[in-house]
Amino acid sequence: MADKVRLGIIGLGAQGSMYARFIRDGLVPNMVIGAIADTDPAKRELAAREYGVPVYEDHTALLAGGDVDAVVTCVPHYLHPEMGIAALEAGVHALVEKPAGVYTRQVAELNEYAAQHPELTFGIMFNQRNNPLYQRIKEIVDAGEIGKIRRTSWIITTWWRPQGYYEQSDWRATWGGEGGGVLVNQAPHQLDLWQWICGVPQSVYAKVAYGFRRDIAVEDEVTAVVDYGDGATGTFVTAVHDLVGTDRFEILGDRGKIVVDGSKTATVTRLVKDERELSDAMGMDDVRKLFMGEMDPAEYYSQETIEFESAWGAQHSGVLENFAANILDGTPLLAPGSDGINGVRLANAIHLSSWLGQEVPLDFDEDLYLTELNRRIREEGTFPERETAAVSAR
């Protein structure tokens, strides 16, 4: 069907099953399921029964079958670059799940290969970029409505996971199988949005707890401080053991402030002048009025509350629809696949800072990171050490 993209779903787990249902139920009008691949015989049987499409044992067979125009990689994180490259090698468009990979060297190789094939669409499932709230916030920041960013803060601890969650599969919460904990599993969307909206920091210093409140090898609590340069800083706090959780994102600029609560509502404060100008113009009588609550806020700032309704599933299905539209008519991608390396680099820098006990630049030594990661994989003694995506794929 010329007006529809035939999608191959690699991995019929939680994410792959969700995408299959979205497409089957008509939430992605420009896409159909072309084929499904899974290494689990029970899931292959389910796929054949539920969706009536060709079913394959692995991604290699699916790519060779000729039933798909594009694939989405719903597999463990380490496999995203390998399968993305394999798809592009086969002349098939690739949508990788988040994160784009576990370490920057393998993601960079995927990006480099994709850049050699501009005729193919390469995207990443950053569905929160399809959240109208965060799209509007990015517009406000990019337009300079709150001035130059001076401080950012994101507390995102709504990722509570019980111990049983980690015991449902052998690869979960391991260095060799998953590549990390909350930073690579739960928080990649926030790491992406943080740098997408506020910019990529220059360096990071992190205090990270490994197996702090859960019986796991990887991180379950993170506190990171980043330096953007020119005196601007940011903090990122996340954890999996806060039962009630907090989701609060603040961006302070020299002409205003944005506060996001629960990823649902944002309060935007716009100052009438640069904050330093307001400060320099205040006399002691103005200060007295300020502290006594006699100040007229309208003299100094205005406030706007932003809230959007976003139906469940609309963000994910919207990324799928946008990905298909780019293939069909060149519609710009909401989340180009090449952007995936930014969040991976930030997660790697946080890990490396905690391992070394020092501040590290965002252009850290990638070989050093891989050496430290492989040392932890070796200590687990369960999974093979890691190399680049191409070496793994061949």
Output the average pLDDT for the chain.
Answer: 95
In this predicted structure, the answer to whether residue 272 has a pLDDT above a threshold of 70 is: yes
In the chain, CATH 3.30.360.10 covers: 129-307
Q: How far apart are CA 87 and CA 13, in angstroms?
A: 20
3-state secondary structure of 156: strand
Q: Which of 132-136, 170-174, 285-289, 360-364 has the lowest mean pLDDT?
A: 285-289
Q: How confident is the model at residue 1 (pLDDT cuts 50, 70, 90)?
A: low
Q: Which residues contact 378 (CB under 8 A, 6 or more apart)?
A: 385
DSSP β-bridge partners for residue 156: 238, 247
Q: Which residues contact 197 (CB under 8 A, 6 or more apart)?
A: 134, 137, 138, 141, 251
In this predicted structure, the answer to whether residue 319 has a pLDDT above a threshold of 90 is: yes
In the chain, CATH 3.40.50.720 covers: 5-126+313-336
The CATH code of domain 5-126+313-336 reads 3.40.50.720
C-alpha distances (whole Å) from 83 to each of 9, 38, 95, 109 are: 12, 13, 10, 12
Q: How far apart are CA 135 and CA 120, in angstroms?
A: 26
Q: How confident is the model at residue 286 (pLDDT cuts 50, 70, 90)?
A: confident
User: Per-residue pLDDT averaged across 191-203, rounded?
Assistant: 97
In this predicted structure, the answer to whether residue 390 has a pLDDT above a threshold of 60 is: no
Q: How confident is the model at residue 392 (pLDDT cuts 50, 70, 90)?
A: very low
In this predicted structure, the answer to whether residue 394 has a pLDDT above a threshold of 80 is: no
**What is the model's pTM?**
0.94
- Topology of domain 129-307, CATH: Dihydrodipicolinate Reductase; domain 2 (3.30.360)
Q: How confident is the model at residue 387 (pLDDT cuts 50, 70, 90)?
A: confident
In this predicted structure, the answer to whether residue 113 has a pLDDT above a threshold of 80 is: yes
In this predicted structure, the answer to whether residue 83 has a pLDDT above a threshold of 80 is: yes
User: Per-residue pLDDT averaged across 210-235, rounded?
Assistant: 98
User: Per-residue pLDDT averaged across 349-375, rounded?
Assistant: 97
Q: How far apart are CA 375 and CA 30, in angstroms?
A: 45
User: Per-residue pLDDT averaged across 106-133, rounded?
Assistant: 97
DSSP β-bridge partners for residue 205: 225
Residue pair 380/175 in contact (Cβ under 8 Å)? The answer is: yes
The residue behind tokens 């139906």 is: 311
φ, ψ at 168 (rounded to 5°): -80, -15
Q: Which of 216-220, 241-245, 313-317, 349-353 has the lowest mean pLDDT?
A: 313-317
Q: How far apart are CA 156 and CA 162, in angstroms?
A: 17
pLDDT digits (tens, 9 = 90+) for 31-51: 999 999 999 999 999 999 999
